[in-house]
A = this chain, B = another copy of it.
Amino acid sequence: MKIINGGVTAPKGFQAIGIAAGIKKGKKDMAMLYSEAPCAAAGTFTTNVVKAAPVKWDQNIVYHQETAQAVVMNSGIANACTGTEGYGYCEETAKAAAKLLNLDPLQVLTASTGVIGKQLPMDVIKTGIETMVPMLSHSEAAGTLAAEAIMTTDTKKKEIAVQFELGGKTVTIGGMSKGSGMIHPNMCTMLAFITTDAAISKELLQKALSGSVQDSYNMISVDGDTSTNDTCLLMANGLAGNQKIKEEDQGYQTFKEALDYVNTWLAKHMAADGEGATALFEVKVIGAESKEQAVILSKSIITSNLVKAAICGHDANWGRILCAMGYSGAQFDPEKVDLYFESAAGKLKIIENGVDTGYSEEEATKILSEKEITAIADVKMGEDCAVAWGCDLTHEYVSINADYRS
């Protein structure tokens, strides 16, 4: 597998575009993704009881339609808590795009992100679709425009593409995602769109995606808030010409590994670009008695406001990490825990068997002043492990969220 330039337009037959349609002032706010061939489509969605209208629209398509072929996205307004009117706007959006693309409306997925509770300005949306369809392009630049148009408080676009061989054919997976606040995915993250030209059955595509999100998007948290709009869509149009993946053979494994790479890369970059973040905070729990235990412990640590604020201050306040493990709900013996901090500046054992090692605070601060920091907690109960990603809690997070709507 190799990493190549580009994003969602890297796989064969995928076109995209992003524009400033006028939902947000002077910023790109609408995007489209289109495949020249019908795609097997898989999706994972928020588990929030409050589901945005486009989540419901997409679930209907992913669960009940054989194929999908386009996605219309907007940022600025989430189309969540908008009642039947909001759901109707998804249908109108799909119809408007379907007409111009010569598709059935049930082939058109929709996705929204932004303020909850406001209705979409449908005239702007429709004009945006009319503007975008003729601009759809295979180019790398067009993929980038789409990746930029779905951003809200994100400071960096997130796109990636990888290539690998499958039975002598070159297969490509491309992806883009957005998400910076209200990030604590449960089944999937804010918005992520993955494209591939692999030929693969719809069932296995969904299986690969559902498995992949568990170790990627579901392992990140910016603020503990699970969004109403979390959506990850994966579209496979088969244009790579590989023999169709129909069972969990070597080909499926190869595809799954590449997909995992793409999803993990996007997830980590979302955590690193968390609202107001100055550092990516990675937490590895090792020596766990089960994967589940390791997941619960690592997620509890990355979610703790107190741990996150300490990371912001480059402060090796390890007591907060042990405290967060302690209230996670997982059982372990605090008096057996070893804890390390690691970054490009080095690795340091902070506690051993639950007690301070007498480490150098100066050295710890140096390690914690890097842009990517890892904490490793060994609970010495078994062989399982998990990795979670978060970020620090900063003044900037508060500034962004104290007055998000204005």
Which residues from chain A sit less than 8 Å from chain B, CB to CB? 47-51, 78, 80-83, 85, 115-118, 181-182, 184, 186, 223-228, 303-306, 309-310, 312-313, 315, 317-320, 322-328, 330-332, 334-335, 351, 353-356, 393-395, 397-406
Contacts and interface: CB of A to CB of B under 8 A. Distances in A.
Given A318-B117, A402-B315, A50 B326 contact: yes
A85 to B, nearest CB: 8
Contacts of A334: 49-50, 81
Contacts of A402: 309-310, 312-313, 315, 394
A49 B182 contact: no
Given A223-B305, A224-B303, A224-B304, 7 more contacts: A47-B327, A49-B331, A50-B326, A51-B326, A117-B318, A118-B356, A223-B306
Nearest to A118: B356
Majority-rule SS of A interface residues = loop
Contact of A397 (B224, B309, B324, B405): B309
Nearest to A332: B49
B317 A405 contact: yes
B225 A224 contact: no
B223 A404 contact: no
B399 A395 contact: yes
Contacts of A328: 49
A327 B49 contact: yes
A403 B313 contact: yes
A289 to B, nearest CB: 14
Given A224-B224, A315-B406, A404-B317, A81 B306 contact: no
B320 A225 contact: yes
Contacts of A319: 78, 80-81, 115-117, 228
A224 B401 contact: no
Given A48-B327, A50-B325, A116-B320, A225 B304 contact: yes
Contacts of A118: 356
A117, A227, A394: residue with the most chain B Cβ atoms closer than 10 Å = A117
Nearest to A319: B116
Contact of A395 (B51, B395, B405): B395
Contacts of A317: 115-116, 404-405
A397 B397 CA distance: 11
A139 B78 CA distance: 59
A336 B313 CA distance: 43
